[in-house]
Structure 1
């Protein structure tokens, strides 16, 4: 049994789809907080069970019989996220899983300026210390995150954001495919992986140029002062904690924390990962 957590989320749902391309439905299980949202998977023959990282007692049932468990990182922040990820990993070990996989990040580091990265680093350290075969998938920065930056640009013609730096924006679909390979093919990805990234790095000025070409009109990149951007974001309704979290992403980018590419993802999935332009075309089409 291969168990995937977060199977109704953007990444987890695609991982399950790719697993079902490789395995019969009765070999796949999912752990989700809301089983009703996974009704479609149950109809396809997938085992659906309720599991919540913040309520570890639920995970014993959710992970029962699992040979491998893929823990999609908790969608919460701070120390609570570390505790939640550890709870899921510990439950997978207690269930007898012979490999535990975790969706980490290309820039996982205790010293990162982006608050998500120390969480990933701490989770990787915990996972590595359990003595169980593991894979920490160091996923490239999710390209869909660009929707946070380009939203108003499509209306105003200005991409306004703090100073940034090059990022190897990577599509969820490619990372989901790599996760399915890691789950089903022994020896392909073991331990902490190389960065699983698309082959190009772009800053927001380059993104604005691509948007201009897609839309047939100029999108100007405007660099905002950090404090002014934060105040503006909060005024538009963004919670202060979320604004600080996002600002950390820009600060880390301009420190070149995400300025890395690696061929591992292409090697694992057997084709060239999606380029940023393709992701932007999709984002624009769905706005």
Structure 2
């Protein structure tokens, strides 16, 4: 699949552009790339240049554009060989946004596009298809475009655990409709480091990499680990989907957040993320961050 010897590559002739360069994932990718290559050979796409002043000071080429504006994208991609398309977190016609990026990349003469998608057992049987199906549609569109591609199919971030389990899980326990489903959670920090290693090396043409944690864990496992770490009894209750949705609405959460939470819970319960691969460890050259280590930091225990 991948080889650690590919990670180190000192031949950085090509300009690399990272979209969402000040975002949570993109920003970490840029941070890692700056350890591997001259800032002069790195560009970022941002919506607001004022948020990237620190990168500009370091010598990174800051380019302004949005996924909704194909003209701005085409201009931003001039002189770029590799583009990392960090998938949009705006679900308003997300596939259309991604198509704009791909079309602009092709028009600007970009040679290689990298795309951050998602690792799922089977999108066709997943309750999450309405929400995540566009990742696979984007990959299909990239293939048809004729651009050289690399698909980085990420598992769920460990960072979503406190969102689903609740920030006060140590006191209240976990109330989440994930059933006994397991997830091979991976930390955003690890995924960003691996992505930078892939971008800064060769041999990834037309490859798909499944980037997951080394082990899959259920929310019952998370509750048990929190109990062990804190010395408290942290319970886990998995309600039916309807009861879970009703409880979220009682908190006054926006409808979009409620729908997203219910769908992710259903997908987890369905076992959609219960799949592990070795690629993340291989590209990191070390073991990925494990659940215990993440929970200790996230919950301060």
| 1:195 equivalent in alignment to 2:193 | no
How far 1:76 sits from its partner (Å)?
1.5
Provide the rounded CA distance (Å) in 2 between the counterparts of 1:103 and 1:123.
Answer: 10
Q: What SS does the aligned partner of 1:163 have?
A: coil
What corresponds to 2:18 in structure 1? Answer: 4
Is residue 166–residue 256 contact of structure 1 (8 Å, CA) maintained in 2?
A: yes
2:262 pairs, out of 247, 264, 272, with 247
Aligned-residue offset at 1:191: 2.9
Alignment correspondent of 1:23: 37
Normalising by structure 2, report the TM-score: 0.89
Q: Aligned pair count? A: 284
Query: 2:67 aligns to what?
Result: 53
Q: Which digits, 9 at most, give the CA deviation of each residue in 1:198-250, with x for residues without a partner?
A: 11100100011111222221111011221121122122122122211221111
State how far apart, in whole Å, the 2-side matches of 1:110 and 1:33 are. 33
Q: Does residue 52 of structure 2 align to residue 34 of structure 1?
A: no
- SS of 1:21's partner is coil
Q: Residue 77 of structure 1 corresponds to which residue in structure 2?
A: 91
- 1:86-105 CA-to-partner distances (Å, cap 9, x unmatched) read 11122112221111001011
Alpha-carbon contact 2:82-2:111 (below 8 Å) kept: yes
Partner of 1:44: 58
Distance of 1:65 and 1:199 partners within structure 2:
38
Deviation of residue 153 (structure 1)?
3.6
Q: CA 1:282/1:233 → structure 2, altered by over 3 Å: closer, same or farther?
A: same
In structure 2, what is the Cα distance between the partners aligned to 1:191 and 1:111?
26
Deviation track 1:73-93 (CA, whole Å, cap 9, x = no partner) reads: 001226x11111111122112
- Alignment partners' CA distance in 1, 2:124 and 2:96: 16
Who is 2:230 aligned against? 215
Q: Indicate the residue corresponding to 2:118 in structure 1.
A: 105
Displacement after TM superposition at 1:192 (Å): 4.7
SS at match of 2:55: helix
Which consecutive residues of structure 2, in runs of 5 or more, have no partner in the other structure? Answer: 1-14
Q: How do 1:173-184 residues align onto structure 2 when only pairs under 5 Å count?
A: 173-184=189-200
Q: Secondary structure at the match of 1:231?
A: helix
- CA distance in 2: counterparts of 1:256 and 1:237, whole angstroms: 28
Confirm whether residue 272 of structure 1 aligns to residue 287 of structure 2: yes
Q: Which has the higher contact order (CA 8 A, sep 6+)?
A: 2
**Residue in structure 1 matched with residue 4 of structure 2 by the alignment:** none
Take 2:191 and 2:165, find their aligned partners in 1: how far apart are those partners?
22
Point out where structure 1 has 5 or more consecutive residues left out of the alignment: none
Q: Helix, strand or coil for the counterpart of 1:285?
A: coil
Between the aligned partners of 2:58 and 2:76, the Cα distance in structure 1 is: 18
1:171 aligns with 2:168: no
2:229 and 2:51 map into 1 onto residues whose CA distance is 34
- Partner of residue 159, structure 1: 174
Confirm or deny that 1:68 pairs with 2:82.
yes
Which secondary structure does the structure 2 equivalent of 1:185 belong to?
coil
Over 3 Å counting, the alpha-carbon distance change for 1:60 and 1:49 in structure 2 is same
Q: TM-score, normalised by structure 1?
A: 0.94
CA RMSD of superposed structures (Å): 1.7
Distance in 2 (CA, whole Å) between partners of 1:157 and 1:234 is 18
> 1:237 and 1:39 mapped to 2: Cα distance?
37
Matched residues in 2 for 1:184 and 1:157: separation?
44
